[in-house]
Amino acid sequence: MTISYAILFDMDGTLLQTEKLSTPAFQRTFAQLREKKLWEGPTPNESELVNVLGMTIEQVWNTLLPGAGEETRKAADHLLLQNEIRLIQERVTELYPGVKETLQHLHEKGIPLFVASNGQEEYIEAICNEYELKPFFTDLYSAGRFQTRSKNDLVAKLLRDYQIKQAVMVGDRHSDVEAGTTNGLFTIGCDFGFATEGELDGADRIIADFSELVHHLPPPEAQ
């Protein structure tokens, strides 16, 4: 398959208001780890928890469980995923305003859309199922699915697998901008997610509302 033009979306902080989900999921996970005698440290504060959003799961535990053994990390993986899926199904959070309508509009225009996330595969699937987003996406790429070590590698694999000639990367973290620019893509930074001041520097465009996206997409290049 060859695709002439596509749009790649980060998930956390771009499509989903993840902070409403991630903080209680991490808090439950740390409490459960202590109950199981697998971790003695305190639960990180909310700022520390939000700061790891967008990282691969390996990077998350390197930051939040420094020095933890393999048993603790595997238990943390399993517990966090369980807690996240349960909270998704409880609808503790929601998509950002305009997300579903914008994705539907782009899909109806015939533009192939992809998720490119550092999250776990089951987590991304659960979000897309719960919020009925799967019909809009050609495929869901995640670090958990392909065991990629960085967003750069994940995006490179996606572009290679689908032989995409031109693409736009949309996300809210520096890793999204870097993954786009490293792979030669037009980048759109979302300044309504978790980006800190200056984090989206280098993006080709920055939007403050998801529905603005359609007004900043570059036109398809002549192939």
Which residues have CB under 8 Å from 222's CB, separation 6+? Answer: none
- Both structure tokens of 23: 């903080």
pLDDT value at position 77?
95
Q: Which residues of the chain have pLDDT under 50?
A: none
Each residue of 44-81: pLDDT tens digit? 999 999 889 888 999 999 999 999 999 999 999 999 99
Q: Ramachandran region of residue 196, left (φ > 0), alpha (ψ -120 to 50) or beta?
A: beta
CA distance 58 to 61: 5
The closest of 172, 167, 170, 199 to 185, measured between CA atoms, is 167
For the chain, the distance separating the N- and C-terminal CA atoms, rounded to the nearest angstrom, is 15
Amino acid letter, residue 150: S
pLDDT value at position 102?
98
pLDDT value at position 223?
61
Place of tokens 């509302």: 209
- Backbone torsions φ then ψ of 206, nearest 5 degrees: -130, 130
